[in-house]
Every structure is written in structure tokens, then in C-alpha cells.
Chains A and B, each alone.
Chain A
Amino acid sequence: MNKIASIILTLGLVVAIGIVFWGGKENSKSVQNVEIKDGIQYITIDAKGGYSPRLSTAKAGIPTKLIVKTDGTYDCSSSLVVRAAKFQKLLPQTGETEIDLGIPEAGVPIEGVCGMGMYSFNVDFQN
């Protein structure tokens, strides 16, 4: 009997892990985090206990900068890697960091990931 109960419990826990990891995809309420000022597009990402918003959509074909905001951030999200921009740095605990993304092409998303790899964000570029 024990074995069957345990198998059921195990399956339940596996499902729970799945939900914790991949469930509840916070349907990124399209936060207004992209703005164009003087011909330059700024995308703002908050870094603290992960990145938010996790998915942003921006315009392709214009000079773009990424602004990463930290606010008393000590966790992994402060060690940011943006491979497409050859950016790899520990962000200041509190402050804003500007990362130049050049002129992004449409359909080539840019990904940022924290040094240990458990937090990430994506920016999609569209025409």
C-alpha cells in the first residue's frame, strides 16, 4: 500500500514542481516600459529578485538603449549578462545602468540573463 501511496504523492509533487517552475506565467500586463525620446528608444527593465517585465516588445530599426534599474538589489539579478550587446557586469546595488543595443533588427530578440542563470528577460523587436 505504501508504495502506491508514495507513487501518487511523488507524481503530485512532480506536478507541483512543474507548476512552481513553469506555471503562473504572469501574463506580462504590457507595462509601458518602452519610450522613444529624441529618436532613441529606451527600454526600462527593473532588476530585483528577477527581471520585470520578463517580456518586452519594442520597435526594430531605431537606435535603442536598455535601462536596467536596480534598487537595493543583492541577488543574482544584479549580475547581468546581455550577450547580444557583449555586456557582462555587476550592476550597482542601487541605480540605473544604460546598455547600448545598437539598432536592433526585427525578429531578433535580445535576451538578458543573470550570472547564475535562474533569471532572464527577453525583448522582442518588431517593425
Chain B
Amino acid sequence: MQKYTFHVSGTHCASCKILIEDVLGEQDFVKNVLVDLKKETVEIETDSEQNAEEIAAVLTSKIKPNGYVLSVEKIDGVKNDDGVIWKAIPIGLGFLVLFFILQKSGVLNLGIGGKTTPVTSFIIGLIASVSSCLAVVGGLVLSLSAKVSQDNVSDKKNFMLFHFGRLFSFAILGGALGALGNVIGINFTFTAILGLIASLVMLLLGLNLIGVFAKNKITLPSGMFNFFRKIEHKTFTPIIIGFGTFFLPCGFTQSMQVVALSSGSFVSGFLIMFSFALGTLPMLLLLSFGSASFAHSKYAPLFFKSAGVIVVGLGLFALLAGLAGLGIISPLFNI
């Protein structure tokens, strides 16, 4: 039995420890594996006859698809992180400024009078997807997509499941609202609390994307990441999150829910909520699949950090607004 210590690169998150240990532990000749994120090392006990370099090469081939590399000598990681963050902050802030100017401009307040038909609800969906609702729903989608892409979980499949789950549950819940009428009232406080949770998740993931946690090694308890990682890999998780977006605080969604509620039949409620969700789809598709394509390009580090800045900004906005909505703090802004 031999003991080797390798240097590992590409570990950007606490869950990486678990992933590497899982993958390497599956190899027959590896008896014991221990990842130290702080030192960026992997300790391996093995009965293999090969020398250190060969073992490193074999094991690297197993974890390379996930973005990790093992080496005998410490690779001087191309640490121009500092350069990247200084580009990412203005880029992220730039997007935030544009977004809030758009909100303030009043362009999105075009009146849609008359009866709400599936066509008008589609248009309202289009407007909603670039409105301040984007701060909550879009911010959440962006942060989760970037995180999922970063962790190299099969991202495209998860995004499809999310969007499918979202369309499906909007339609079904819309239909239920129409059929049942006033039976299910959607509670203000419940929505607001869900919004607060969403904004906290955004802040957490945003800071994680920027790399605050990695750099200062403030890792969250690994149990928590273990939990996240487990649910990240479950097929139903993206569907559940898609379902959950129905209840996230968004004035447009709530208005449409009331329309579905008063529509009086399953079919009309179904059609109204479905076309509304369909209207929000293009923007959300852009956010999720855009993240994925950036994440697999050479601009990945810059993208993750810029997305992190944007998500933190939107998360703060949603948090402060949510607290004001609940009456915990007095409103700080009108936008």
C-alpha cells in the first residue's frame, strides 16, 4: 500500500471535494482518497504498482471532464483572477444600470386594456420577463444556471427540465385556479417570504460565482454543500424549481393568477397561465442557455464573475424590496 499526495487544480467549490472523492474512490486501485481544499491537495492510498506520475495521469483522465487536474508538482495556477474581477465588476454594474434605467424609464408600463386573452397574456409575459420581475426570477435563473454550468452538472438537460417544469406547472396551476375559483388564495406573506429566500440564494450563489468564498476559503459547511450537490443531481430538482417560480413574488404573475382565477374554467385558466409562461420563456431561455454557452467558452471566468456581480446586485434589490414589502423596513427606493 502506497500513499501519494497530488496537487489538484480546478477546485472552485466545497462540493468539488465530494465529487473528486466520489469519482476517484470508484477506481479499483484506489483504496482511500482524501481531498484537502485548503491546500488544494489530494491524498491517495493505492496498491497500484505505477509511479506517481502515471497514477496522476490515470486519475486526471477520470476527473478531467469535470475540470480538475492532478499533478505531482504544484502547477502555478494562472492566477490572473485579480485582473478578471476588475473587468467583471464594471461589466456587471453596467448591466445593472441598464436594467434599472429600463425599469425607471416607464417603457414597460404600456397599458393593456380590455379583456385578457391568451394573446394578451403572452404579451404581458414578454413584458414581465424584462421587468423588475427579472430581478427575482431572472436573477435566480441566471445564478442557478451559472452555478450548474460551473459545477459541470449536465446543464442543458437540467435547463430543459426547468423550463418544461415551469411551463407545465404554470399551465396546470392556472387551470386549477380557473376550475376551483377562489378556493386557493395565494397568500401575500407566503409569496414575500419565498421571495426573500430566493434573494438570499441569489446573494449566496452570486458571491460564490464572484469567488468570495473560494478566495477567502470561507466555505460553507460541507454538509450543506453535500446537500446542495445531492439535490443538484436529482432529475426532479429543476422541475420543482420551475414549479416554485409560480409562487415567486412578481406583480405580473400575481395579476395573471387573478385573471386565471376569475376566468371560471380549467381550460381558460390553463391557456392564460400557459401563454403567460410562454411569453416569459425567450428571456429565461436566453439567460440559462446563454450562461451555458459562455461557461464553456474561453470567457468562462469573466462570465462567472460578471454574472456573480449582476446576481448579487439583483439579490440585494430583491432582498431590500422584499423586506419593504413585508413592512420590516421602510421602502428605500421607488423603481
The interface of chain A, by Cβ under 8 A from chain B, is 2-3, 6-7, 9-10, 13-14, 16-17, 20-22, 48-50, 54, 71-79, 81, 83, 88, 90, 93-94, 111, 113-120
Contact = CB atoms under 8 A, between A and B. Distances in A.
Interface string B166-178: 0000000000000
B254 interface: yes
Contacts of B82: 3
Interface of B: 82-83, 86-87, 89-90, 93-94, 96-97, 100-101, 104, 106, 108-109, 111-113, 116, 124, 127-128, 131-132, 136, 188, 191-192, 195, 249-252, 254-256, 258-259, 317-318, 320-327, 330-335
A49 to B, nearest CB: 3
A75 B330 CA distance: 20
B240 to A, nearest CB: 22
Contacts of A115: 188, 191-192, 249, 251, 254, 325
A10 B136 CA distance: 24
16 contacts: A7-B86, A14-B93, A20-B100, A20-B335, A54-B334, A74-B127, A74-B256, A76-B132, A81-B188, A83-B327, A111-B331, A113-B324, A118-B334, A118-B335, A119-B334, A120-B324
Contacts of A71: 111, 113
A13 B97 contact: yes
Contacts of A114: 251, 325
A17 B332 CA distance: 13
A117 B196 CA distance: 11
A22 B318 CA distance: 16
B314 to A, nearest CB: 12
Given A49-B109, A114-B251, A93 B116 contact: yes
Contact of B251 (A9, A10, A20, A77): A77
Given A76-B251, A115-B325, A6 B111 contact: no
A78 B333 contact: no
Contact of B249 (A9, A17, A111, A116): A116
A73 B254 CA distance: 11
A116 B82 CA distance: 36
A2 B251 contact: no
Contacts of A50: 334
B334 A72 contact: no
A22 B90 contact: no
B324 A72 contact: no
Contact of A22 (B116, B256, B333): B333
A93 B132 contact: no
Contact of A94 (B94, B113, B254): B113
User: Which 10 pairs across A and B sit closest by C-beta, in order of nearness?
Assistant: A76-B251, A117-B325, A49-B109, A117-B324, A72-B111, A117-B321, A13-B93, A120-B331, A6-B86, A9-B90
A73 B106 CA distance: 13
Contact of A78 (B100, B251, B322, B332): B251
A6 B252 CA distance: 37
A94 B106 CA distance: 18
A17 B100 contact: yes
Nearest to A116: B249
Nearest to A121: B334
Contacts of A10: 89-90, 93
B108 A49 contact: yes
A68 to B, nearest CB: 14
Contacts of A83: 327
